[in-house]
Amino acid sequence: MSSPEKISEADVVAFLQSRVRFYNTALNAFPSARIANSSALQNEIDNINRPLALLRQHRNALLSPISRLAPEILSLIFHHLAQLEPHFCPCPEKDLVNYMKEKSTLPFALGWARVAQVSATWRTCALSDATLWATVTLAHGRSWAEEMLRRSGCAPIKLQIIASRQSEAHFAVETIRREAERIAELDLIVDHDSFSSHFITLAIEGSLPLLKRVNICSPRGSHAMSDWHNITTPAIATAGLDSLRIHDCNELDWRELFMTSLTSLVVDCCIYLSADPLSHSVNTIRDALSRTTRLEMLSIRDSFMEVSGTLNLPPVDLFQLKTLELNTSLLGLAALVGCLRAPHCHRIKLETFKAERVPAEEQRSLSSLGHALAGTQLPIYHLKTLECKTVGPKDSRTRSFCISGWDSSTISALMHDFEQEGDEVTPAPNLSIIVRLPPGAQSHGIRSAPFLDNLPLGQVVNLSFNVAKELGHSWNYVQWDHLLPRCLSLRWLRVDRDVALDLLRQHSVSMRLGNGCFIPRSVEVIALFCVQWDDSVRGISRADALAGELWGACSDDVHQLEGLMIGEDAFDENSLYTNGCFSSDICSDIDLLRSPDRPRRKDEDGDTDEEWLDEMYAWDPLWRT
């Protein structure tokens, strides 16, 4: 039997084509039945896997680390996130314009509210905490505000009203009246002149038993204080209101303020258009403050005070006051500070401004301010560090003359007392006096003597003058023979620029007149930075001789001076006095400190720029590179 021939692909195709009519029905029916059966089986598989997937999801949720947290801890995380991504305007007096612009052009971002959409557990935790939804703003429309009010339940709420249209005003009135029993904080922010605050005053005519804080802001409005009269009535003020902030309100009348229960009062940027000067006079402000008994924080910034008559006002006792911030005219500043008695105030910031020329009356105000600060009314007699400096370039709008004081102890390493967790950050001063100078002013015209002559300096350990003698001032800008002997505890003295040169000149004159050395015996280090030796000094004596004379006078058994450091100002190439001017044997024990931009060459002691900069940081916290 012979083997069959090999069947080719063409033979198979021809065979099927000749018989395809006999299998047409069977070929069409078989695939349809197979697909149907497969789909049915897949549906059964899905029905079985679906509950298994849900079980796995619940199991994984239970094993997740975040699910192991107690609801109270998880709620604290939500509250922290709500502070990082607030859905309201957190600082309306600064950010309202940008906030309203973004609100009108962009859809509202959920922000922290996304936590309610992560999982069922998170949503349950978020919705069960009514205080998480207790900050309600009307800026995002009625539906959003209504939902926040519903979720906040019965919790006390902070209500922020940002209104610029009549419809918003009516809704604000309705909301305040409906939720009056649980409003604890109220932000009244007027964004447009067309909005009348009359609607708000109508809304709060009733009782607000939980109201503690009120913030009134009208950055683009023109509303007088009379528009907010219900906020300042005795019925509201004495019901428990303890914090009042007024920003950008015209015609503020201090006679309308009832502040019996206030612990914090902040008045910012209030211009006065009233024809009645008594509404904002220093006497009226003083009378308003006299009605307070619990005030702990007082801030009056960028607000004009009418000053007339004598600066000597009857005293006002503010025994609870801890923080005082005043920013007004020099006359108003001196008058108001002079009448305050706040023995427990531990932070004082005074800021004023001056014209191109300081009249004699303002010079007397400087002296009066110094006397007021030195009196028993304000506790600044524990200052340990005192700094006088000029901040900002001469063509800057932020140029100012500052006197700052700290009560930080400087017994051991001065730098360590100012460091916080390794960061070289100087803390906020306990006393700050800032005089803003006119733009482009070439001379500040402010003498530090009216302040320093009256300030108690007996406990000052570190004294720094980072300021130059301004144009038009004669020598003896600082009367060192009068100032330094009062610093009985002084250990570190730093003086910059031509004021440092003036110190050397005055010391030389004192020695020639037989008055002796006025450097306190307790001083350990003297640093004179950026000293520029002028022609008058060169004509009198050698520059290094002045420093050598000071060093020699303190090199006895009485003084404790351990180091005198001199840092020259940058000279040009043609200067006759170069780095070598201190290389003589007169000053062989004096450290010559070069400016940071000088070539890195070693001096007589072998110190390089980096080494003496490290040395500066070791003892002087006020050093600025």
pLDDT digits (tens, 9 = 90+) for 148-184: 899 998 999 998 887 666 666 778 778 888 888 898 9
Neighbours of 318 (CB within 10 A): 23
Cβ atoms of 475 and 396 closer than 8 Å: no
Q: Which residue shows structure tokens 């922010």?
A: 189
**What is the structure's pLDDT at 415?**
37
pLDDT digits (tens, 9 = 90+) for 364-417: 777 777 777 766 566 666 788 888 887 776 666 677 888 888 887 543 333 333
CA distance 125 to 117: 11
| Of 607, 543, 613, nearest in space to 575 by CA | 543
**What is the structure's pLDDT at 572?**
35
Residue 315 pLDDT greater than 60, yes or no: yes
CB neighbour list of residue 334: distance below 8 Å, 6 or more residues apart: 311, 365, 366, 368, 369, 372
**Mean of the per-residue pLDDT values of the chain:** 71
| 600/565: higher pLDDT | 565
CA distances from 621 to 390, 416, 500 (A): 17, 9, 19
**What is the structure's pLDDT at 272?**
56
DSSP for residue 281: B
- In three-state form (DSSP H/G/I as H, E/B as E, the rest C), the secondary structure along 466-481 is ECCCCCCCCCCCCCHH
| 364/444: higher pLDDT | 364
The burial class, CB within 10 Å (0-12 / 13-18 / 19+), for 186 is buried
Q: How confident is the model at residue 586 (pLDDT cuts 50, 70, 90)?
A: very low
Name the phi and psi angles at 117, rounded to 5: -115, 10
| Overall average pLDDT of the 569-593 stretch | 38
DSSP for residue 387: E
Residue 323 pLDDT greater than 70, yes or no: yes
Give buried/exposed letters for 456-494 (b at 16+ CB in 10 A, else e). ebeebbbbbbbbbbbeebeeebbebbebbeebebbbbbb
DSSP for residue 70: -
What are 599-606's contacts with CB under 8 Å, separation 24+?
Answer: 603/579
Cβ atoms of 93 and 217 closer than 8 Å: yes
| Overall average pLDDT of the 302-331 stretch | 80
Cβ atoms of 346 and 430 closer than 8 Å: yes
The separation between the first and the last C-alpha atoms of the chain, rounded to the nearest angstrom, is 110
Give residue 621's Cα distance to chain centre: 20
Cβ atoms of 323 and 350 closer than 8 Å: no
**What is the structure's pLDDT at 590?**
46
| Least reliable range by pLDDT among 114-123, 196-205, 520-529, 583-592 | 583-592
CA distance 589 to 212: 65
Vertex 162, ends 327 and 326: CA angle to 5°? 10
**What is the structure's pLDDT at 325?**
92
| Least reliable range by pLDDT among 13-22, 383-392, 515-524, 528-537 | 528-537
| Overall average pLDDT of the 455-474 stretch | 71
Residue 109 pLDDT greater than 60, yes or no: no
CA distance 262 to 296: 8
Q: What is the rounded radius of gyration, in angstroms, for the C-alpha atoms of the chain?
A: 38
**What is the structure's pLDDT at 171?**
80
Q: Are strands 431-436 and 400-406 parallel, antiparallel or unpaired?
A: antiparallel
Residue 214 pLDDT greater than 90, yes or no: no
Residue 116 pLDDT greater than 80, yes or no: no
Percent of all residues in the chain with a pLDDT value above 90, rounded to a whole number: 3
| 255/126: higher pLDDT | 126
Q: How confident is the model at residue 520 (pLDDT cuts 50, 70, 90)?
A: very high
Residue 495 pLDDT greater than 70, yes or no: yes
Cβ atoms of 273 and 244 closer than 8 Å: no
Q: What is the DSSP string of 92-147?
A: HHHHHHHHHHHHHHSPPP-GGGGGGGT-HHHHHHHHH-GGGG-EEESTT-HHHHHH
**Beta bridge partners of residue 135, listed in sequence order:** 158
**What is the structure's pLDDT at 297?**
92
Cα within 13 Å of Cα(523), Cβ side:
26
- Highest-confidence range of 363-377, 467-481, 607-621, by mean pLDDT? 363-377
| 173/96: higher pLDDT | 173
Percent of all residues in the chain with a pLDDT value above 70, rounded to a whole number: 58
- Highest-confidence range of 98-102, 239-243, 510-514, by mean pLDDT? 510-514
| Least reliable range by pLDDT among 85-89, 101-105, 528-532 | 101-105
CA distance 7 to 30: 27
DSSP for residue 203: H
| Of 301, 376, 371, nearest in space to 344 by CA | 376
Domain boundaries, the chain: 31-63, 474-625
Vertex 264, ends 152 and 231: CA angle to 5°? 65
The burial class, CB within 10 Å (0-12 / 13-18 / 19+), for 51 is exposed
Run of H or E including 381 = none
**What is the structure's pLDDT at 156?**
93
As given in the structure block, the two tokens for residue 549 are 């004379």
pTM: 0.71
Residue 49 pLDDT greater than 80, yes or no: yes
| Overall average pLDDT of the 27-51 stretch | 79
| Least reliable range by pLDDT among 433-437, 499-503, 592-596 | 592-596
| Least reliable range by pLDDT among 251-255, 364-368, 621-625 | 621-625
**What is the structure's pLDDT at 390?**
77
Neighbours of 243 (CB within 10 A): 17
**What is the structure's pLDDT at 308?**
65
| Of 570, 568, 558, 573, nearest in space to 590 by CA | 568
Q: Are strands 264-268 and 297-301 parallel, antiparallel or unpaired?
A: parallel
**What is the structure's pLDDT at 581?**
37
Name the phi and psi angles at 144, rounded to 5: -65, -45
Q: How confident is the model at residue 579 (pLDDT cuts 50, 70, 90)?
A: very low
Neighbours of 201 (CB within 10 A): 18
